[in-house]
Amino acid sequence: MLSDKVAIVTGSTSGIGESIAKTLAKQGVKVLVTGKEQEQGERIVEAIKSEGGAACLFISDLLDPRTPDQLVELAVSEWGRVDIIVNNAAMVCNKPIEDITHDDWDRLFTVNLKAPFFLVQAALPYLKAHKGTVINISSINGKLNDYHNLVYDTMKAGLNHMTSGLALDFPQRGNTRQCFNASRGGNTFARGLV
């Protein structure tokens, strides 16, 4: 069912994103691995290829507003389509209220909310054409606040709300938007996605 689909997985050079990328590849999905870690990313791509999967690496920074378009352009140039967007990348800000800065708010808003939206927007023609799927990786912090975690918690709550909004504005039959609260890490969580 997933064979020859194409996925972009942000933040997939480590952690949950790495597990998602590898799990999708085992299902026959061609995966664009993207994140900040060059060596780790190369290792993940090689691991996928060594098991017969297809993957390529794009080292990126979601603080750069050009990145969403670049990711879609690369996936399309490599494989001609985009079927799955996994918005996994996120930044954290563990600070007491009195130490939080404008820069903290701006960085987390850009990476945790703005970039996911613009990645979906950039991929929208392909998602519509192929009845694609958007998976936003949220957190239990989007529902329950944690100590010294206000900015991150707020962004994850916003991601939950954005996912609901995508469902309203992108209602075509067959297109799906999902939001997962990542309270577990690693392969167990990733296996639950497919």
Residues that are catalytic: 138-139, 152, 156
Q: If DSSP codes are grouped into helix, strand and coil, which group holds residue 32?
A: strand
155, 113 Cβ separation under 8 angstroms: yes
CA distance 18 to 35: 10
CA distance 160 to 178: 9
Sheet-wide strand order for 6-9: 55-59, 30-35, 6-9, 84-87, 133-138, 176-181
CA distance 107 to 90: 10
